[in-house]
Structure 1
């Protein structure tokens, strides 16, 4: 087996294997040029990660799955005895046939973990094949050095229903391109989070400068958002059965979104960081669909950083443009997210956006609204 990135996190694979009550198959998504008839193909439940069917080099149209085994398996000790039983039945069969028998006939609990990368060599290959591909990768890296990955996420304005996203209501909101958070990721030897010179200052011209900057900007800059997003991303991929390659990177951010005025500046940084991580690790929309992505961004802020927030801002920053959102209780309970519909922004009139240059803490103002709503308070006076 030769991975296109030549390296992936074995420790993450072992942790996932130990967390599931069964065997483990590593798989990847076939490229367009690859035929399923040349690989062992797996069908995997997206909810449980259980391998529901294994087909060794299937004929065309026998399965719609494009998920291929990479001949990397983890077996429980007690399962090894099945190998002897299988060889008595099929002494000349391949190892792929053994897994086909385990999954389809014995119906053992077998789970799948995805590697979001390509593979060139699988199965019985010679040393010359490995040498050729290693030379190819080395030349490719020299000729094509890693380019920076940069993404923006935009501020948002709530038009109707705000803040009923936290109370099973309906809202309409839109993103505004005037204000944005931009994150840049570039591959590096070690993982580095670069402080923003204004939002995460570590040097000051004087004690008075420290006083003025701290009074206006506070103590909670964007660096914590980068770190929390990275931590949650690794945790999400591990839980979802996605084995990441062992690559390091440097992250830096910039933003012109006014602070503490309710324009979703924090979630914009998280959203842009997530876009960079997905691109860097080849995580697709199928791996992390848009509705789940909005939940992810919210969880970074609420679970990791204890920021009071709702889904509306994150949904708009994921979908962008003008979005109608229904957060009804039944929808949230059944599917874990609401109903989100993109709308035509051309029907809107022109808007003027006004905000204070020296605002109070918007998060502190909203911090107890949900608790007051849950306790049955009917009106919210100042």
Structure 2
């Protein structure tokens, strides 16, 4: 029987989040330390894990395929999934599962999904099939599998539901750390539902914040290309500060930011909450970050953001 295996990595937003769902722009990277994996194979009958997310992904893929003239995607399929991404701490574990399953199905049924369209298809699984509030950022980073500047400003000449995506060399990034608090998880829809309602109501403070966050992401791209890492770090901090002005943040999440900054590091939320990312200046500061955050119950890594060398 035919079998296809696929992977998608964890994601950390760096600058501009969470403006991706609000006509803003963000800079985000994948973290190769963690991944979701999916295998799709032919089977006598559909054999899917008892995971609503996977069922919705298969359903959406089949609809996508039929609309593009592929008529054999109703044949039975077996799916298995696994993930090492810490759950519900803002590292994009759910979207990684969706992207991995879509990639596996695309390969098994030989239904090409253009790279520019795959993030929107993955987002539709959660938003349209399951009613979960989310933005494109996670899926874009995972589909392009690298550091990406993504701009979702209105008025651009691009298909509806897509942004302008610019992959960047992750080697441009300064040394990073990522920390998360396993005991303070928070589903992303809790954050996004309230923010979406306020944005849709036209709350001026939220609209101003999203516009500012877009400018920060564009400035972060420029800082990296110019090699101005000090300015880049300041933009990471500024993103988190703007977030704190428009969202009711959990004290235990914001404490991670304060502890890291107390060591001289920069800090921003990687996503909806529960994990942070920032820059450091080297081993001495990294040791201080580990001591402070691990002493407060967090887990800390220096993430791998560049792909392994070929050959």
- On whether the aligned pair clears a TM of 0.5, the verdict is yes
What secondary structure does 1:193 align onto? coil
Structure 2: gaps of 5 or more residues:
207-245, 249-311
What secondary structure does 1:291 align onto? coil
Query: For residue 326 of structure 1, what is the aligned residue in structure 2?
Result: 151
Q: Is the 8 A contact 2:62 2:74 kept in 1?
A: no
Question: Is 1:293 the equivalent of 2:118?
Answer: yes
Residues 152, 169 of structure 1: CA spacing in aligned structure 2 closer, same or farther, 3 A cutoff? same
Asked which structure has the greater CA Rg, the reply is 1
What secondary structure does 2:97 align onto? helix
Match among 194, 200, 204 for residue 368 of structure 1: 194
Residues 242, 148 of structure 1: CA spacing in aligned structure 2 closer, same or farther, 3 A cutoff? closer
Query: For residue 261 of structure 1, what is the aligned residue in structure 2?
Result: 89
**CA-to-partner distance for each residue in 1:158-193, whole Å, 9 max, x for gaps?**
011101111111111001111111111222111101
What secondary structure does 2:177 align onto? coil
- In the comparison of the two structures, how many residue pairs are matched? 207
Structure 1: gaps of 5 or more residues:
1-145, 196-222
Per-residue deviation, 1:333: 6.5
**CA-to-partner distance for each residue in 1:218-256, whole Å, 9 max, x for gaps?**
xxxxx1111001111111122222222553221111111
Q: Is the 8 A contact 1:165 1:312 kept in 2?
A: yes
**CA-to-partner distance for each residue in 1:98-124, whole Å, 9 max, x for gaps?**
xxxxxxxxxxxxxxxxxxxxxxxxxxx
Match among 129, 150, 172 for residue 27 of structure 2: 172
Query: For residue 313 of structure 1, what is the aligned residue in structure 2?
Result: 138
Q: Is the 8 A contact 1:331 1:337 kept in 2?
A: no
Q: Is the 8 A contact 1:298 1:310 kept in 2?
A: yes
Query: For residue 348 of structure 1, what is the aligned residue in structure 2?
Result: 173
Question: Is 1:194 the equivalent of 2:194?
Answer: no
Residues 238, 155 of structure 1: CA spacing in aligned structure 2 closer, same or farther, 3 A cutoff? same
Which of the pair is proportionally richer in helix?
Answer: 2
Residues 381, 158 of structure 1: CA spacing in aligned structure 2 closer, same or farther, 3 A cutoff? closer
Query: For residue 52 of structure 2, what is the aligned residue in structure 1?
Result: 224
Residues 367, 332 of structure 1: CA spacing in aligned structure 2 closer, same or farther, 3 A cutoff? farther
Match among 131, 146, 160 for residue 15 of structure 2: 160
